């Protein structure tokens, strides 16, 4: 679900000197700041929905020692709410403005943050924290690679997007198969795909900035949608890494 609004036209990666463009740096900083604030809000909501028993019990079924045992009807709805909102947004925001794109971004962030409580309940706090830090370090390195590379990642990105839809289908199918082998393969592919998408989306944002030619209104929209793509890539990479690195409670 990290493929919202990937329709911006790109230009060859080597056509502009990105290192000396103050406008580009300001644009990218605006995107990264929004991603960082989104992650902070998500972390606060994940903590709040698992630390306060009345709220936790509305969403989750837990064991006496606080481990995840299942989901309530409201919790199940919360898990699928971000996907529903994104699908609605794909058809309902054809003429987006910076304002409604921003509302859309923060709505998705808040809904995902509520659903992230599942990781806090299922895994130890230490493993959640360490995996988050590993994801943050990987995100920074991959985004820097996408920002600085002169190679056009368009073809690579198209391959990754197809792969992303493939693993989404595999995840749905495996909900019925419950195959540990399929789960392992999907998690491994998920790490690779979303790691690559971080680099690809960073480069695509760079190209978008130059294509927009200083249009402030369009850049406001692009900042929100660009932040959404990078935020979703981060969250998905974190979740797939948790499957390998996390220690269950």
Q: At what angle do helices 180-212 and 22-51 cross, to 10 degrees?
A: 140
- The structure tokens listed for 235 are 């969250």
What are phi and psi for residue 52, nearest 5 degrees? -105, 115
What are the CA-CA distances from residue 138 to residues 145, 170, 225, 240 (Å)? 10, 25, 21, 13
pLDDT range class, residue 18, cuts 50, 70, 90: very low
pLDDT range class, residue 22, cuts 50, 70, 90: confident
- The structure tokens listed for 176 are 């019925």
- Contact 198/78 with Cβ under 8 angstroms? no
SS (H, E, C) 152-191: CCHHHHHHHHHHHHHHHHHHHHHHHHCCHHHHHHHHHHHH
The radius of gyration computed from the CA coordinates of the chain, to the nearest angstrom, equals 18
| pLDDT given for residue 235 in this prediction | 97
| pLDDT given for residue 154 in this prediction | 92
What are phi and psi for residue 62, nearest 5 degrees? -125, 160
- Contact 138/237 with Cβ under 8 angstroms? yes
pLDDT at 69 over 90: no
Place of tokens 């995100």: 139
pLDDT range class, residue 249, cuts 50, 70, 90: confident
Beta strands in 36-90 (DSSP E): 60-62, 68-71
The CB-side HSE value for 45 (13 A sphere, CA atoms) comes to: 19
pLDDT at 234 over 90: yes
71 DSSP β-pair partners: 60
Region 113-138: mean pLDDT is: 94
pLDDT range class, residue 67, cuts 50, 70, 90: confident
| pLDDT given for residue 3 in this prediction | 43
Name the percent of the chain lying above pLDDT 90: 73
| pLDDT given for residue 2 in this prediction | 42
Q: Three-state SS for 133?
A: helix
Q: Three-state SS for 123?
A: strand
> pLDDT higher for 116 or 67?
116
Give Cβ neighbours of residue 127 (< 8 Å, ≥ 6 apart).
242, 245, 246, 247
Distance separating alpha carbons of residues 229 and 108, to the nearest angstrom? 11
């Amino acid at each position: 679900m990290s493929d919202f609004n990937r329709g911006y036209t790109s230009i060859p990666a080597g056509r502009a000197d990105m290192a000396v463009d103050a406008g580009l740096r300001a644009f990218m900083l605006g995107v990264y700041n929004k991603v960082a604030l989104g992650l902070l809000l998500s972390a606060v909501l994940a903590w709040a929905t698992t630390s306060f028993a009345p709220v936790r019990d509305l969403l989750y079924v837990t064991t006496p020692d606080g481990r995840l045992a299942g989901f309530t009807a409201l919790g199940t709805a919360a898990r699928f709410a971000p996907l529903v909102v994104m699908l609605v947004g794909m058809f309902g925001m054809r003429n987006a403005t910076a304002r409604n794109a921003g509302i859309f971004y923060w709505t998705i962030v808040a809904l995902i943050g509520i659903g992230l409580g599942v990781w806090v309940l299922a895994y130890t706090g230490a493993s959640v924290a360490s995996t988050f830090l590993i994801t943050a370090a990987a995100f920074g390195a991959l985004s820097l690679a996408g920002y600085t590379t002169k190679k056009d990642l368009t073809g690579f990105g198209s391959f990754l997007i197809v792969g992303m839809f493939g693993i989404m289908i595999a995840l749905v199918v495996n909900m019925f198969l419950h195959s540990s082998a399929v789960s392992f393969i999907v998690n491994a592919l998920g790490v690779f795909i979303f790691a690559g998408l971080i680099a690809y989306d960073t480069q695509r944002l760079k190209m978008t900035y130059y294509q927009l030619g200083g249009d402030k209104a369009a850049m406001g929209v692009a900042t929100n949608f660009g932040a959404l793509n990078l935020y979703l890539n981060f969250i998905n990479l974190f979740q797939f890494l948790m499957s390998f690195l996390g220690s269950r409670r």
